[in-house]
Amino acid sequence: MAIVFQEKERLFTLHTASTTYQMKVDGFGYLLHLYYGDRSEGSMEYLLTYADRGFSGNPYEAEEDRTCSLDALPQEYPSQGAGDYRSPALIVRNADGACSADLRYAGHRILDGKYGLEGLPAAYGDADGKSTDGSGDQDAAQTLEIDLKDAASGLTVTLLYGVLPDKDVITRAVRLKNTGSRPVELLKVQSACLDFTWGEYDWIQFYGRHAMERTFERAPLRHGAQVIGSRRGTSSHQYNPFVILAERETTETAGGCWGLSFVYSGSFKAEAEMDQYCQTRVSMGLQDEAFSWPLAPGGTFTAPEVMMSYSGRGLGQLSRNYHRAIRHNVCRGKYKTMPRPVLINNWEVTYFDFDGGKIMDIARQAAELGVEMLVLDDGWFGKRNSDTCGLGDWYVNEEKLGGSLAHLAEQINGLGMKFGLWMEPEMVSEDSDLYRQHPDWAFAVPGKKPVRSRYQLVLDFSRREVVDHVYEQLSHVLDSANIEYVKWDMNRSICDVWSAAAGSAKQGQILHKYVLGLYDFLERINKNYPDLFIEGCSGGGGRFDAGMLYYTPQIWCSDNTDAIDRLRIQHGTSFGYPISAVGSHVSAVPNHQNGRTTSIETRGCVAMAGSFGYELDLNKITPEEKECVKAQISRFHELWELIHNGDYYRLTDPGRQGLEGEAAAWMFVREDRSEALVSAVTLDYHGNSLAPLIRLQGLDPKAVYRDAETGRQYAGAALMCAGVPLPLLGGEYRSWEMHLVREQEQE
Ligand code: GLA
């Protein structure tokens, strides 16, 4: 069984295939954390050390004993007001105004299957987590619920642990219930907290900005706190809600590291703190600034899920744990592991300047070269001919399209292509019929002009009637034509958070309720249009998180389509998210975001480390480039399974200075190791250079592999131990690929 409770010791042990997590209830009823790391056995209670520590208080019941202090002990869910002065996971204001919660063990349940969270995304177990024959299948998901209670207020905090044994993933979430007789107010509710009593760690985060998201950054933790998060209402371009704590010596291929991935798409906070005893606490959850959640007697609140994983074999393995778990246990629907159509998107081709004829010209040429879907981007609705107006008016501009959407879709279908559509449901332009009819549906603070961004305001999705109205309008559009794909966009950060429908005591709930409204909308679409393929987007990757991936199996990774910048963006993204989630296109040169020119081969090579599609006018490329596009599409079909469902290995760090930074290289390996694709792009290139050497990973060391193009054979062990020199490609930004096929077992 994945979860074991030893009654006498009051010890909980959670096992996955390669990891163990352990905690215990101490003599005072405190839930103490003991261990999370490589798979282990037996009680690790001996790891707790007790001493009389100055200025670290003791529980009242300890009487003369001054050695037990929550200020020094590792805990599962530290709260403010219990004598622990580190950053708390929980802050509650009681009816009397005191900010205090003293949480003691009150019971637990071990359940088959992985818990779900109502109205929120959450990982799910394979086969719903149930062992089909009742024999306690080692791979079956399980749930542990532990109740902690604060006697003074009556608040019950239920910690949820979900174990996905074969994925080496343990999830956490928290349910709170006011089981007391007076109201309380939640001020901070982290979803997961991990205490480490020993060790020196690096903190790895993924920072960025619009068009330059998820840049890898690693730095040693020092005393004090390292805090990142988002206050924008979305998970944000600026900091991704995925972080890693790594031992100082940990590399791509060796050493211990712990990941925390928030299965949530709104504002968040991730903290790491090294305390006075050099212990480290990491936590993740909802952004607490401007958050408050009143809980009347009987009221409940659920904090979203954090997916944790541990790898004792370096960062690469940690990423592969997340890739598998997100692909199989977070993404849903038909497209989760299925081939996705190679698409062409008209955005960088036309921007707002198109009509039906132009779209058909793009589609015809694309179809001829093998593209399988045309996506009509922004500008098809209302009076939307620029970004100053029209959002919220989700009716088709038939004049611009030269007919109905159904007619356009039919024409596209007639070319043998699918048809997809862009939409931005959460927004409204002031210059729109919707805003003129319902100005109070947009967020705005009374007595103050709202902050504008891209001339648009944000609809108050905390209100059911707003969600219902937009849903109705958009489902009308979806029903009107053969639309097989939707790009769901969100193009600004939220400000002026104030809901005209909520009283003053409830405004602290609105930002979270907005996200719940978004999820409700997405759930309805998924349920009512099960065959629809939805790609998430927020000005590129401004809402690239495991929460969105529950509803949309793919997310437009960045508005930056330059192949070289994308190397860094996709490198950072790969730490927490699978390749199948990454929306990536070949676009025009010079690139529209940074003016860089790269070859169509290099652009194709980089875009193939993702969903793969095009976003340029294929009528305007040379005949040689057209041949290249044809070849790329058939190559992608051939290699799709290996790329999307294979194991991904980072071979270099493209952000690093020096030799390693001279090329970006990565590879995909089939799970049975029978086939691999190695890809590389040169970055710095200097006169009289020696070829950079790339050491491959994940192959079968005993097997012989044949380079499918040259026919040359290599021992798997040699490719991994000695490596392979990157051919001298003669300049920067050139790409190279090696497709390896396993030949035979070596004698
Ligand atoms: C965002 C998206 C782009 C495009 C535009 C349209 O910026 O990321 O791909 O769809 O909106 O306005």
Question: Is pLDDT at 747 greater than 70 in this prediction?
Answer: no
Q: Which amino acid is at 677?
A: L
The mean pLDDT of 266-279, rounded to a whole number, is 98
Cβ proximity of 441 and 434 under 8 Å: yes
| Residues above pLDDT 90, as percent of the chain | 95
Residue 644: the pLDDT is: 97
Residue pLDDT, tens place only, 216-235 = 999 999 999 999 999 999 99
Q: For the chain, report the end-to-end CA distance as a whole number of angstroms.
A: 40
In this predicted structure, the answer to whether residue 744 has a pLDDT above a threshold of 80 is no
The answer to whether residue 132 scores a pLDDT higher than 50 is no
Ligand 1 contact, 378 CB (< 6 A) = yes
Strand order in the sheet with 300-311: 103-112, 142-150, 155-164, 169-178, 300-311, 257-263, 242-247, 201-209, 212-220
Report the distance separating Cα 345 and Cα 559, nearest Å.
Answer: 13
**Residue 559 in contact with ligand 1 by CB distance below 6 A:** yes
CA distance 354 to 116: 45
Distance, CA 476 to ligand 1 centroid (Å)?
22
Position in ligand 1 atom list of the atom nearest CA 487: 10
277 Cα to the center of ligand 1, angstroms: 48
pLDDT of 421 higher than 50 = yes
What residues contact residue 196 under an 8 Å CB cut-off, 6+ apart? 74, 245, 279, 280, 281, 282
Sign, Cα dihedral of 567, 570, 572, 575: negative
Q: Which residue is closest in CA terms to ligand 1's atom 7?
A: 539
CA 23, chain centre distance (Å): 28
Confirm or reject: Cβ of 285 under 6 Å from ligand 1.
no
Residue ranges with strand state E in 181-231: 184-196, 201-209, 212-220, 224-230
Q: How far apart are CA 565 and CA 57, in angstroms?
A: 52
For ligand 1, say whether the CB of 491 is within 6 Å of any of its atoms. Answer: yes
Please indicate whether residue 347, judged by its CB atom, sits closer than 6 Å to ligand 1. Answer: yes
> Which residue's CA is the closest to the ligand 1 atom numbered 6?
378
Give distance in angstroms: CA of 347 to centre of ligand 1.
Answer: 7
Q: Kindly report, residue by residue over 376-404, the tens digit of the pLDDT.
A: 999 999 999 999 999 999 999 999 999 99
| DSSP one-letter code for 249 | T
Kindly report, residue by residue over 352-363, the tens digit of the pLDDT. 999 999 999 999
pLDDT digits (tens, 9 = 90+) for 149-179: 999 999 999 999 999 999 999 999 999 999 9
CA 580 to centroid of chain Cα atoms: 12
User: How far apart are the CA of 572 and the centre of ligand 1, in A?
Assistant: 21
Pocket test for ligand 1, best of 489, 538, 561 (most atoms within 8 A of CB): 489
Q: Which atom of ligand 1 is nearest to the CA of 377?
A: 10
Ligand 1 centroid, distance to 348 Cα (angstroms): 9
384 CA → ligand 1 middle, Å: 13
Q: Which of 217, 496, 625, 732 is catalytic?
A: 625
Q: Count Cβ atoms within 10 A of the Cβ of residue 332 and give its class: 0-12 exposed, 13-18 middle, 19 or more buried.
A: middle
Per the structure block, which two tokens stand in for 352? 């707002």
- Strands, E, within 389-532: which ranges? 418-423, 427-429, 456-458, 485-488
Which protein residue has the closest C-alpha to ligand 1 atom 2? 539
Q: Whose CA is nearest to atom 3 of ligand 1?
A: 539
> 3-state DSSP call for residue 228?
strand
Instruction: Tell me what the mean pLDDT of segment 730-734 comes to.
Output: 95
- At 128, the pLDDT band (50, 70, 90 cuts) reads very low
Give the pLDDT band of residue 684 (cuts 50, 70, 90). confident
Query: Which of 234, 237, 347, 353 to probe ligand 1 with, by most ligand atoms within 8 A of CB?
Result: 347
Tell me what pLDDT residue 691 has. 84
Question: Does ligand 1 come within 6 angstroms of the Cβ of 556?
Answer: yes
CA atoms of 593 and 211, how far apart (whole Å): 8
Q: How many Å lie between the centroid of ligand 1 and the Cα of residue 334?
A: 25
Task: At 282, list the tokens.
Answer: 């990491």
Q: Residue 71 is encoded by which pair of tokens? A: 């200020």
Mean pLDDT of the chain: 96
Residue 130 pLDDT = 41
For ligand 1, mutation pick of 209, 378, 562, 585 (most atoms within 8 Å of CB): 378
User: Residue range 699-715: average pLDDT?
Assistant: 98
Protein residue with least CA distance to atom 8, ligand 1: 539
Whole-number Å distance between alpha carbons of 325 and 577: 9
- Rounded CA gap, 309 and 349, in Å? 41
Q: Is the CB of 577 under 6 A from ligand 1?
A: no
Q: What are the residues whose beta carbons fall under 8 Å from the beta carbon of 69, sequence distance 6 or more?
A: 53, 56, 57, 58, 83
- The answer, yes or no, to whether any atom of ligand 1 lies below 6 A from the CB of 377, is yes
* pLDDT bracket for residue 31 (50, 70, 90): very high
Percent of the chain topping pLDDT 70: 98
Q: Is the CB of residue 424 below 6 angstroms from any atom belonging to ligand 1?
A: no
Phi-psi region of 204 (alpha: psi -120 to 50; beta: other; left: phi over 0): beta
Q: Which helix (H) or strand (E) holds 330?
A: none
- Relative to beta strand 90-93, strand 224-230 is unpaired
The amino acid sitting at 535 is E
What's residue 353's pLDDT? 98
Is 38 part of the annotated catalytic residue set? no
Mean pLDDT of 101-126: 97
Check whether 136 has a pLDDT greater than 90: no
Catalytic residue among 84, 147, 489, 545: 545
Q: Does the pLDDT value for residue 532 go beyond 60?
A: yes
For residue 537 and ligand 1, the question of a CB distance below 6 A is answered with yes
- Distance (angstroms) between ligand 1 centre and the Cα of 489 equals 7
Residue 746 has pLDDT above 80, yes or no: no
> Which residues, at least 6 apart from 336, have a Cβ–Cβ distance to it below 8 Å?
327, 328, 553, 580
How remote is the CA of residue 557 from the centroid of ligand 1, in Å? 11
Contact call for residues 648 and 676 (beta carbons, < 8 A): no
Ligand 1 neighbour 540 (Cβ under 6 A): yes
Q: Are strands 3-6 and 11-15 parallel, antiparallel or unpaired?
A: antiparallel
Sequential DSSP letters for 478-493: HHHTT--EEEE---S-
For ligand 1, atom 4, the nearest C-alpha belongs to 347
Residues 556-580: tens digit of each pLDDT: 999 999 999 999 999 999 999 999 9
**pLDDT band of 646, cuts 50, 70, 90:** very high
pLDDT on residue 133: 44
| Ligand 1 pocket, residue 213 CB under 6 Å | no
Would you call 545 a catalytic residue per the annotation?
yes
Kindly give the distance from the C-alpha atom of residue 540 to the centroid of ligand 1, in angstroms, as a whole number.
7
Side-by-side strand order, sheet with 585-587:
582-583, 554-556, 533-536, 485-488, 418-423, 373-376, 343-345, 613-615, 585-587
Evaluate: CB of 381 within 6 angstroms of ligand 1: no
Q: Is the pLDDT of residue 129 over 50?
A: no
The CB of 489 under 6 Å from ligand 1? The reply is yes
Q: Is the pLDDT of residue 470 over 90?
A: yes
Across-strand partners of 488? 423, 536
Choose which residue among 209, 421, 537, 558 to substitute to test ligand 1 binding: the one with the highest number of ligand atoms within 8 A of its C-beta.
537
The pTM (predicted TM-score) of the whole model is 0.98
Q: Is 669 in the pocket of ligand 1 (CB under 6 A)?
A: no
659 CA distance to ligand 1 centroid (A)? 36
For residue 685, the model assigns a pLDDT of: 87
